[in-house]
Every structure is written in C-alpha cells, then in structure tokens.
C-alpha cells in the first residue's frame, strides 16, 4: 500500500531537481494583478462595449442637450446632469460584472488557482473599478465641457461654467458609492444575472417603494432620509450638503453598503470555488 | 511531490472525502482513479486552495499551496477545461495567465505550439472550441509557468485517440525530467497507458494504491480451454483459486503454474496469458462496486 511513496525515490537522480527548486520566485505584486484585472475588463466583446458605452453615452447625452435643450439651459450643469444620469446606471454594472464574471463564466477556477489569496484579487478588482469610475467622471467632465463650448457657440451666448469643484467632487463621490454598491451586489450574489436584477431592485424598486411609503405614511416621512440610501445619495448630485445630510449619508450607506460589503467579502474569501 | 495527509471534506452530513492519504512522487505519473462522484475533484480542489478541507492537509513540495509565492510557476493546474471565458480567444486566455505569472510574452506562442494549437485556432474565441481544444488550452495554462508539479483533473476527456497518445508522451517527458504528475480519470484504459502509480478511490475512500506493475501482478492469469470444468477442478485440486470470466478462468497464480496444472490434467489450452489490463479492470470494478453509486442509496 505504501509502494507509491517508497519506489520512486531511486528513479529520480537526486541532483536533477534542486537546480529548478532553488530558482528565486518573486511574489505577485498588486500592481500586476490590477493590470490583469484591467485587461480582463476590456478583452471580451461584451466587456469592451460596456466600457466603450461610457464614452458613447457621454457624447450622445451631450448631443441631445445641444439639440433639444432651450438656449437658456445651455450651461455646464445641464451637461453634467445629462451625462451623469446614464453613467450612474452603467458604472455600478461595470463594478458588479468585474466580480460576477469570475463565477458566471467560471474563470475564477483559474484566477483563484493562479492567485490563491482571494483578498488580493478582490482588492485589485475594487481598485481598478474605482479608478475606472473616477476616470469616467473626468471623461464626462471633459465631454460636457466641449458640449458646453459647442452649445454656447451655437446659441451665441457666453459659456456658463457653473459646476464648482465641490459639486464635481460630490458627483464623483456619488458615483464611487454607486460602483461600490454594484461591487457589493457582485460579491454577495456571485452571479451576473442575479446581481443585475438585484441592482435594479436596489436602484429602481426600492426608492419607489420607500417614496410611496413616505408619501402616504406621515411617520415615515422624517425617517426616510435616515433609511433610504438612494435618497441620501441623490442629494450629492444637487444639494449643498449640510452636516445632517452627511450624517444621513453615513448611516444609510453603513446599513445598505458597508455592512453588506463586509459580509460579501467574507463570503468570497470563504466560499468554495467550483 | 504532492502529499495528501488524512484529508477529509464534509458537506453537512455527507462525507465527500474520507481520510484520504497518498503521495504523488517526482519522476512518476500518478493516476487518480475512481468512478464519478468518488471525491477526485474535491480532493484536487482542496490541493490548490479552492475548497477548505474539514480536516487533514495537502502539501506540495512540503508547503501549503497558499505559501507558494507565485503558484503558477511551481504547480500547473487544470481542473476543468470548460471553465474558460467563452468570449475570450485562446491566446488571450493564455496571455492573462502569462501576465499574472509575470512571464515574458514570447512564452504564449511557445506554449501554444507545445500543446499543438495553431495560430489560427488561438485567435478563435473559446466558445467555438471543441472539448479537445479546450483541454489543450487548459494544459497550456498549466504548462506555461514551467512548473515542477502538474495537477490535472480528467485531462484526457474529449481528446481523440491521437490526442491521448500525444498527452501521454507529453506527461511522460515531463515526469522523465523529474516532474510530478497527478492526473485523475474515471476511465481505467485512459489512465492505464499513462500512469506509473495508481490511487483508486471509491466513495471518498482510498480502496487501493501502489505501482501499476504491482496492481497488475496481483491480477493473475487468464486461461481458456474447451474443458473449463475439468481445468477448474484440476486447479482447485492444485490449491489454486479460479474465478470464471467470460468463456474462461482467471486464476490467482502465474501463467507458468497454471500451464503446469493443465499439462498434468492433460487439458488442451486455447489461451494462456497474464491478466494484465483485464485484471486491472476487473479489480477496478470489484473495488468500486460496493462503494459505487448503486450502493449509495441515502
């Protein structure tokens, strides 16, 4: 019964292997993993067009504003809102797909075998996702600025630059939170279809339900800002934030984002990969 | 060198792998044989850190898989050839592995050539690949890091006979260079032509292990004659154990001994040979019969 262990030793010359065993093997740096994850976001047809859609949507939204908006509305804020809305839908989906494709396409079997420290893979994915989110916002800003210049040239009015650095920062933050919500759904569901459905429930059904509740139930009206995460996040787009608003954002994201994210990350680290 | 030490994996009350211990040695091809659902894949997933064992451990070259700095350079793994992104080309999938391991880009083309995928095939998306091509691509991913150890789950699945022969030569060359190969299969004939050592598993438990030569030697002699009954009696009188197998007998003895008995009994023989593969197959069926799924009514 133990022959499998006993017989082979003489068959291998003792001096044959050590030469290879002693070659220095450097650990895999996080930057390399980020490079790999970035590549994986673009290297399929579906992935490429999803990423390209960020640029395409920005240009289309800008064109729509130039064509249809009244002259008085041609200002930078109109452009950023027009671009920002569709992007706030696309970016979370990019975030969730970066996680779920490993499971739906079963590539995780190879990914987590080549890099058995799943926390590092997920960290690389998250950093790349956030970098894409921030880069997309700057792209949108640039496209919107060009749109504003072109639009003003057509109307013959002076371009109106009415988006402050603070406002832009808030918009970036709102989109980063949106991407993290997508990412959270990804690590919780680990299935593309389920996570996308979950995302639409989260971003469409939930706000409508809570809005209706607030409209008909007096007791809930004051409570909503503390419960409804979409409500609290949306204020980043169009309000100057007060201290209370920030607190409400903190409370709602803790419940709807940070705690579920922690649970999802724990599940990803522990779950069996098949 | 892969060392599995009393590995156990339970799913609730179901025990998929039950105190499994074996070693796959350098310079040898170790075949991991068992019927479907016997626990082969679970054992292999535990080896590479995809599944947490309930108890026991696996070491590769004396270390836990997660202790390897860059596992792809030390252990080549192919667990499921169909677990590849259908929308990526073969070349892209291999390039991702190359980039993850930090290897030079030239290795992609070299490895594609090594597993027999043409330039044209490498450009195609994997959804258009046959299972045999996916196996070659999966093997390329395992080989690209030039590892010392290969862990392959059902790698011959979907390969045609020429492909199986090619893989046998490839794995033979790899182990002759001192590499360790562990490959699983549920098909005895497939593994018989490749493996030096065998580990047979049934319902999560090891039922036999040893060198192929040893396990074959134990399988006895096949003998055929017109007077089966007369020969059977003579063999029994000579103190040998004979089992009837289609149209003949399998005797737990060397062919020479059986020949002498037949000569003394004056029984003309039609066939007399070592049981070889037939014996191993019978052994495999026997060893796994009582632990196969028919008996697993839960």
Domain ranges of chain A: 28-270
* B1 close to A (CB below 8 A): no
> Which residue, among A164, A167, A94, A101, has the nearest Cα to A135 in the 3D structure?
A94
C-alpha R_g of chain B = 22
Q: Which strand (E) or helix (H) includes residue A213?
A: helix A206-216
In chain B, which among 190-219 make CB contacts under 8 A with chain A?
A: 196-199, 208-211, 214
**What is the per-residue burial (b if ≥16 Cβ within 10 Å, else e) of B144-173?**
bbbbbbbbbbbbbbbbeeebbeebbebbee
Chain A contact present for B127, CB below 8 A: no
Is A11 in CB contact (< 8 Å) with chain B?
A: yes
Degrees (nearest 5) of the Cα angle B137, B124, B134? 25
**A10 close to B (CB below 8 A):** no
pLDDT in tens, chain A (274 residues): 444 444 444 444 444 444 455 567 889 999 999 999 999 999 989 899 999 999 999 999 999 999 998 888 888 888 988 898 889 889 999 999 999 999 999 999 999 999 999 999 999 999 999 999 999 999 999 999 999 999 999 888 888 898 888 889 999 999 999 999 999 999 999 999 999 999 999 988 999 999 899 889 888 888 898 989 988 888 888 778 899 999 999 999 999 999 999 999 999 999 999 8
Cα distance from N-terminal residue to C-terminal residue, chain B: 36
Point out which residues pair with B197 in neighbouring strands: B30, B211
Structure confidence by residue, pLDDT tens digits, B102-140: 999 999 999 999 999 999 999 999 999 999 999 999 999
d(CA B50, CA B17): 15
pTM across the whole model: 0.85
What is the mean predicted confidence (pLDDT) over B224-247?
A: 88
B5-28 pLDDT, tens digit per residue, is 999 999 999 999 999 999 999 999
Give me the domains of chain B, ranges plus CATH numbers.
Answer: 2-210 (3.40.50.300), 220-274 (3.30.70.100)
Say if the Cβ atoms of A47 and B197 lie within 8 Å: no
Whole-angstrom distance, CA of residue A40 vs CA of residue A37: 5
Where do runs of H (alpha helix) occur along chain B?
A: 40-47, 90-101, 106-114, 119-123, 131-143, 161-176, 188-192, 212-217, 228-237, 255-265, 276-289
C-alpha dist (Å) from residue B102 to A32, A92, B88, B113, B191 = 8, 30, 20, 20, 33
Burial group, residue A139, by CB count within 10 angstroms (0-12, 13-18, 19+) = middle
Q: Are B26 and A17 within 8 A, CB to CB?
A: yes
Residues of A in contact with B71 (CB under 8 A): 113-116
pLDDT for the residue B296? 43
The DSSP bridge pattern shows strands B2-11 and B55-60 to be antiparallel
Contact partners, residue B183, CB within 8 Å, separation at least 6: B29, B30, B31, B32, B150, B151, B152, B153, B155, B156, B171, B191, B194, B195
Which residues are CB-contacts of A87 (< 8 A; sequence separation ≥ 6)? A54, A57, A58, A136, A137, A140, A175
* pLDDT of amino acid A23: 65
Chain B residues lying within 8 Å of A41, measured CB to CB = none
Per the prediction, chain B carries an average pLDDT of: 90
* Max Cα-Cα span within chain B: 72
């Amino acid at each position: 019964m133990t022959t499998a262990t006993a017989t082979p030793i003489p068959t291998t010359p003792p001096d044959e292997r050590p030469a290879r065993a002693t070659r220095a093997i450097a650990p895999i740096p996080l930057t390399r993993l980020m490079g790999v994850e970035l590549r994986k976001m673009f290297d399929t047809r579906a992935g490429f067009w999803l990423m390209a859609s960020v640029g395409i949507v920005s240009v289309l939204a800008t064109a729509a504003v130039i064509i249809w908006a009244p002259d008085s509305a041609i200002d930078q804020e109109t452009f950023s809102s027009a671009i920002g809305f569709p992007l706030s839908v696309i970016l979370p989906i990019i975030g969730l797909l970066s996680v779920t494709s490993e499971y739906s396409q079963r590539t995780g079997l190879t990914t987590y075998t080549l890099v058995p420290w799943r926390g590092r893979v997920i960290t690389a994915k998250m950093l790349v996702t956030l970098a894409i989110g921030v880069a997309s916002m700057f792209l949108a800003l640039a496209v919107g600025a060009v749109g504003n210049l072109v639009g003003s040239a057509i109307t013959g009015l002076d371009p109106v630059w009415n988006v402050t650095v603070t406002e832009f920062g808030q918009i970036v933050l709102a989109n980063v939170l949106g991407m993290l919500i997508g990412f959270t759904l990804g690590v919780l569901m680990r299935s593309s279809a389920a996570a996308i459905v979950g995302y639409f429930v989260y971003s469409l059904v939930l706000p409508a339900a809570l809005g209706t509740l607030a409209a008909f139930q007096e007791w809930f009206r004051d409570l909503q800002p503390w419960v409804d995460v979409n409500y609290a996040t949306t204020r980043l787009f169009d309000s100057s934030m007060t201290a209370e608003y920030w607190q409400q954002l903190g409370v709602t994201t803790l419940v709807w984002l940070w705690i579920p994210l922690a649970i999802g990350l724990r599940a990803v680290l522990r779950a069996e990969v098949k | 060198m892969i060392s599995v030490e009393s590995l156990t994996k339970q799913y609730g009350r179901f025990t998929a792998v039950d105190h499994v211990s074996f070693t796959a040695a350098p310079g040898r091809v170790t075949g991991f044989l068992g019927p479907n659902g016997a626990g082969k894949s679970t054992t292999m997933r535990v080896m590479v850190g995809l599944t947490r064992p309930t108890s026991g451990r696996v070491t590769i070259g004396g270390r836990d898989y997660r202790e390897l700095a860059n596992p792809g350079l030390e252990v080549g793994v192919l667990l499921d050839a169909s677990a590849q992104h259908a929308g990526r080309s073969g070349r892209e999938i291999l390039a991702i592995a190359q980039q993850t391991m930090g290897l030079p880009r030239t290795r992609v083309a070299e490895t594609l050539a090594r597993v027999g995928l043409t330039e044209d095939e490498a450009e195609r998306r994997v959804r258009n690949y046959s299972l045999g091509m996916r196996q070659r691509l999966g093997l390329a991913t395992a080989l690209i890091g030039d590892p010392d150890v290969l862990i392959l789950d059902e790698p011959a699945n979907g390969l045609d006979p020429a492909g199986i022969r090619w893989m046998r030569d490839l794995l033979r060359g790899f182990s002759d260079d001192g590499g360790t190969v562990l490959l699983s299969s549920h098909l005895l004939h497939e593994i018989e032509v490749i493996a030096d050592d065998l580990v047979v598993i049934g319902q999560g438990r090891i039922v036999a292990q040893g060198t192929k030569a040893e396990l074959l030697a134990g399988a006895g002699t096949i003998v055929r004659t017109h007077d089966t009954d007369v020969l059977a009696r003579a063999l029994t009188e000579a103190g040998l154990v004979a089992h009837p197998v289609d149209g003949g007998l399998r005797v737990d003895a060397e062919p020479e001994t059986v020949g002498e008995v037949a000569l003394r009994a004056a029984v003309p023989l039609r066939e007399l040979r070592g049981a070889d593969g037939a014996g191993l197959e019978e052994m495999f069926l026997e060893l796994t019969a009582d632990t196969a799924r028919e008996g697993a009514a839960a």
